Structure 1
Amino acid sequence: MNKVYAMVVEEFGKPLQYREFDMPVPEGGEVLVKIAASGICGSDVHVWKGEDKRSHLPMILGHEGIGYVDKVNAGRKDIFNYELEEGDLIVWNRGVSCKTCYNCLIKRKNYTCSSRWSYGFSKSINDYPYLNGSYSSHMLLTPETEIIRIVKVSDINPGEDYIPYASACCAGTTTACTFEQIRIDPSDNVVIQGPGPLGIYAVLFAKEAGAKNIIVIGGTKERLELCLEAGATHIINRNQTTLEERLERVLEYTDGRGGDIVLELAGTKEAVEEGIRYTATNGTYASAGIAVDVGEARINWFRDVVRKNATVKGVWVGDIKNTYQAIKMYEKNKELLTKMISHRIPLIEADRALQMMEQKKVIKAVLIP
C-alpha cells in the first residue's frame, strides 16, 4: 500500500517525529488532499508548547493548508456547488461545526459552536479523520468539511505560484471576520497592534473600507515596512518608544482623537492594556490576536471604556465566508502578499520553522512537503 507521511507532535515542546501512514481511500464525501503548503501560525507554536488545552497527543499540527484533490468520489462539491475533480486546487474551513446548535442556527456564527473541532488543533492521530493536520504530505477531509475550489484542474498554470494562498486560511480569515463585525466610516482612524500576517491583512481591509489614517504599532522592522507598503499611513516601532510616547503619537496622527477602531492583533494581554488607551470616544476596541489564555488584563474601565462610550469586542477565528473574503483580498494583492511569505521551509524541518516563528525571525513561513 502507498504511504503518506506527517510530522507528529508526540510530546509537547519536543522535536516533531517523522511518521508514515497507509494512504487512506476516501469513502463517500471524504476528500484526500495532497498538501501543497502549510502556513505556520503563531497558534501552532502555542499548541506545540502545550499551551492550547484543546490539543490531544499524538497529533499533527497545521490548520493553514492548501492542496490538490488527490482522490475524491463522484458527487462531492465545494460550497459553490462545483463538483470536485482530482487535481483541483482547494482550501477548506479549518473548523467543523455541528450546524444544529443555538450558536450555529440562531446566532448564525458557527465558528462559536461549542461542538466545533479544528484541523491541526483538536484531534490526535488516533481520532477520525486521523490525517487531520496539514504538517503532512496528505490530509483526509471529512464529508462535513466546507471546501472552496480555488483553481479548477484544467486551469492550473504550472508556472504560477499558488503557495501564498495559504496566508488566507487563518490570518486572512480571522481578519475578514473581524472587519465583518466592526464598522469603518471614511473619516475613521484605525490603529493596528501587531504588524504580522493578521496586521498586514488588516491594513488591506482598512484601506479598502476607506479609513482616513491607518496606524500600525509593532516591534519588527521588516513587518512594519511591509505594512507601509500595504497602505499604512503611519508606523510606530514599540522597541524604540515608550508607552506614553506611543500614545502621544497616536493622538498626534489622529488630531487628538485616538483610534475610532483599534485592533489587537499582537496576541498579548499587554497589548490589550495599552491598546484600550488608544481608543477614541465612541470608538471600538476589537481583540482578535489572542489565541490562548494569557491571564487577566488590567484596564481602567471607567476612564478607557465607560467614559468614552467605547465598545469592546472579542473576535474568535472565522468561517468559510471569511475564508472566501480573504481569498478575494489575496487575489487583489498577490504581489504584496507574496512578499509576506518570507520563508519556504521543507516539511521535514518543521521544528526549525516553529522555532523561527516563535522568535519572530519570519514574517510568514510555510512548510512544503
Structure 2
Amino acid sequence: MQSTALILREPGRAPVLETVTVADPGPGEVLVRLAASGVCGSEGHAVHGRSAVARYPSVLGHEGAGVVVEVGAGVTTLAPGDHVVLALYVPCRACRQCVRGDFHHCVGESRRLNTMGVRSDGMTRFRSGEDQLFPLMGLGTLSEYTNVRAEQAVRVPADIALHALCLVGCGVTTGFGAVVNTAGVSVGDTALVVGCGGVGLNAVQGARLAGATTIIAADTQASKLTLAQQMGATHVIDVTSTSLEEGVRAVIPDGVDYAFEVVGNGDLVAQCLGLTRVGGMCVMVGAPPPGAIIPARREALMMERRLVGCRGGSNIPQRDIPRLAELYSSGRLLLDPLIGKRLPLSGFAEAFEALDHAEVARSVITFDS
C-alpha cells in the first residue's frame, strides 16, 4: 500500500512528507487507514534527539485512530470497517511480569522490538525504496495508512468521533492512568499536577473523575490554567508570578496526598516530592532526558514519601481504551477542549511549531476520508 507519511530521517533535521510503502498485513496484523493523529511531545523528543525509543529514519506519530482496511491471517477479533484506537504496546503474555498479571510491566522481547518499530524477524512494516523506515512506538500514525499488530488496534464504537478518540492512544491514557492506575487516587484525596499540557490536563480530569476534592494545577501559561479549571482543577498556580512552593502551601500547608510532575525536569520532580504530605506520593509522569538525575532529599524519603515512575499511565490497552471511550461518550471525559489546532497532514509544520512553543494542549492531524 502506498501512503503519504511524515518521515524524520535523522534527529535535528526537519521531518518531511514522503510517499512510502506500507507492508500488507501478515499473520496477526491489520492495515489501518488513519482518521486522525495527535502530535505528542514524544514526536518533539524524536525530532530533537531526546527519544529513548525512536530509530531513524522514523515514521512519526504514535497517537492515532482510524478504520481497519484489511486483516491478516489468523485475525478473528477485528474486521474491515471496524473503528479502532491504536495502543502504545501489546503485552507479550510470557515474561515474568505478564505471567503474574502485571501486563503494564511487560518486559518481553516482542514488546521491546515492537516499540522500536520492528517485527520479530527484525524487519519493519514501512519502506522507502530499499530503505527500512521505523514507525515510532511501532505505530507511525502520521501516515495515511499503517500496519500494526492486531492487539494494538482496540475496537471502539463507530459513532464516536475519531479526531477526539485518537488522543486516548497516548496523552489521555498516560495522564488519566497516572492518577487512576499508577497512583490510585481515590475519593477525598488531594492532588497537585505540575505541567498542564496534553498529558497533565488529563491527569487533572483523572483526579476529578477519581473523586479528589482538592486539585491544584500549576503551569506558566494562563490559557492552560484556564483549561485546567475546565478539566476540574479547584485551584491554579501561575508559576510566573507565584512560586510553586508558596502556591501549594497556601492551599494545603502540610502537602498534598499525590503530586504529578508532567514536565520532565529532574529538579521539579524532586520539588514535587517535597510538596507531598508525610507518607504521600509523587509520580514522575514527564520524561526527563536519558541519564537525568532526580535530586531527591534524604529528608523527604525518610518521611515515607514515595517517588514512583510512570510507564504510559500503567495502562492495559484492552481494558483502558474502551472505558475511556465510554467516559467520553457519556460526557464525563473532556477531549474536545484539548484540541487547540486541527490540521491536515500538510500542515504538520504548524503543529510542530505549536509543540515546540507549548502553545496548545494538542494539535491533531486529520486525514481526508
With the shorter chain as reference, the TM-score category is 0.7 to 0.9
Q: 1:85 aligns with which of 65, 79, 97?
A: 79
**In structure 2, C-alpha distance between the alignment counterparts of 1:263 and 1:53, rounded to whole Å:** 21
Aligned partner letter, 1:275: C
Q: Which runs of structure 2 are paired with 1:53-92 in the superposition (5 Å)?
A: 53-72=52-71, 76-78=75-77, 84-92=78-86
- Report how far residue 68 of structure 1 moved: 0.8
5+ long unaligned stretches in structure 2: 127-134
Instruction: Say whether residues 1:299 and 2:316 are aligned partners.
Output: no
Aligned partner letter, 1:172: V
Instruction: Say whether residues 1:344 and 2:345 are aligned partners.
Output: no
- Report how far residue 207 of structure 1 moved: 1.4
Instruction: Say whether residues 1:281 and 2:278 are aligned partners.
Output: yes
CA contact (8 A) 1:93 1:319 kept: no
Deviations for 1:269-293, whole angstroms, at most 9, x for unmatched residues? 2321321121111211111121642
Aligned partner letter, 1:95: Y
5+ long unaligned stretches in structure 1: 79-83
Distance 1:263 1:77, change over 3 A: farther
Q: 1:123 aligns with which of 114, 117, 122?
A: 117
**In structure 1, C-alpha distance between the alignment counterparts of 2:34 and 2:287, rounded to whole Å:** 27
CA contact (8 A) 1:173 1:325 kept: no
Partner of 2:153: 147
**Could you say what secondary structure the match of 1:67 adopts?**
strand
Partner of 2:43: 44
CA contact (8 A) 2:205 2:231 kept: yes
What TM-score does the superposition give when structure 2 sets the normalisation length?
A: 0.86
Aligned partner letter, 2:337: K
Instruction: Say whether residues 1:169 and 2:163 are aligned partners.
Output: no
Aligned partner letter, 2:294: A
- Report how far residue 294 of structure 1 moved: 6.0
Q: Over aligned residue pairs, what C-alpha RMSD do you find?
A: 2.5
Instruction: State the percentage of identical aligned residues.
Output: 24
What TM-score does the superposition give when structure 1 sets the normalisation length?
A: 0.86
Instruction: Say whether residues 1:259 and 2:256 are aligned partners.
Output: yes
Deviations for 1:179-218, whole angstroms, at most 9, x for unmatched residues? 2132334332111111112222112221122212000011
**In structure 1, C-alpha distance between the alignment counterparts of 2:22 and 2:294, rounded to whole Å:** 47
CA contact (8 A) 1:189 1:259 kept: yes
**In structure 1, C-alpha distance between the alignment counterparts of 2:27 and 2:166, rounded to whole Å:** 27
Greater alpha carbon shift after TM alignment, 26-35 vs 208-217: 26-35
**In structure 1, C-alpha distance between the alignment counterparts of 2:228 and 2:190, rounded to whole Å:** 16
**In structure 1, C-alpha distance between the alignment counterparts of 2:218 and 2:341, rounded to whole Å:** 23
**In structure 2, C-alpha distance between the alignment counterparts of 1:289 and 1:67, rounded to whole Å:** 27
- Report how far residue 151 of structure 1 moved: 2.3
Instruction: Say whether residues 1:310 and 2:305 are aligned partners.
Output: yes
For these two proteins, the number of residue pairs brought into alignment is 349
Aligned partner letter, 1:350: F
Aligned partner letter, 1:141: V
CA contact (8 A) 1:11 1:58 kept: yes
CA contact (8 A) 1:43 1:291 kept: no
- Report how far residue 295 of structure 1 moved: 1.4
**In structure 2, C-alpha distance between the alignment counterparts of 1:100 and 1:275, rounded to whole Å:** 36
Greater alpha carbon shift after TM alignment, 290-299 vs 62-71: 290-299
**In structure 1, C-alpha distance between the alignment counterparts of 2:311 and 2:16, rounded to whole Å:** 30
CA contact (8 A) 1:260 1:280 kept: yes
Distance 1:257 1:162, change over 3 A: same
**In structure 1, C-alpha distance between the alignment counterparts of 2:190 and 2:184, rounded to whole Å:** 12
Aligned partner letter, 1:138: Y
**In structure 1, C-alpha distance between the alignment counterparts of 2:305 and 2:351, rounded to whole Å:** 39
Partner of 1:8: 7
**Could you say what secondary structure the match of 2:337 adopts?**
helix
- Report how far residue 61 of structure 1 moved: 1.1
**Could you say what secondary structure the match of 2:218 adopts?**
strand
CA contact (8 A) 1:38 1:135 kept: yes
Distance 1:174 1:222, change over 3 A: same
CA contact (8 A) 1:56 1:124 kept: no
- Report how far residue 110 of structure 1 moved: 3.9
